[in-house]
Amino acid sequence: MDKVVEEFEKRHRAVTAKHRKLADGYVTALNRNGTIEHKPIRRVPVFRLRTVLMALGVFLLFKGFILANLGVEDYESRLGHLATGSAFEQAGAWIMATDPASLWLSEKFQAFIS
């Protein structure tokens, strides 16, 4: 009996998954057999502006927190050491360079840290 229930649940999951895909849109076409078939429209996932802005905000918060913990002098010395490394490390140093937003955030974090 367990085998029958497992097979039913497997078919049920497949039908539910197909219905979810069809809910986003579908194309109706005639099959080789002459039966009507609904196929989901394939959509390429696109990064939304909101997602990119949230990732950028989290990155700035991270930079501000690191800058507040290390201090400006120590942070700059570590970036200088990173800038003398390989191309990958130099790119990291360029990305992690201090900017007005991260300096402002580090000042705000200083109040919570000390």
pLDDT tens digits, residue range 82-97? 999 999 999 999 999 9
pLDDT digits 0-9 by tens, 50-66: 899 999 999 999 999 99
Query: For residues 102 and 108, what is the distance between their CA atoms, to the nearest angstrom?
Result: 10
Q: What angle do CA 33, 34, 40 make, to 5 degrees?
A: 95
**β partners of residue 52:** none
Question: Phi then psi for 36, rounded to 5 degrees?
Answer: -85, 130
pLDDT digits 0-9 by tens, 17-60: 989 988 888 889 898 998 999 888 887 777 788 899 999 999 99
How many CA atoms within 13 Å lie on the side-chain side of 101?
A: 10
Query: For residues 57 and 51, what is the distance between their CA atoms, to the nearest angstrom?
Result: 10
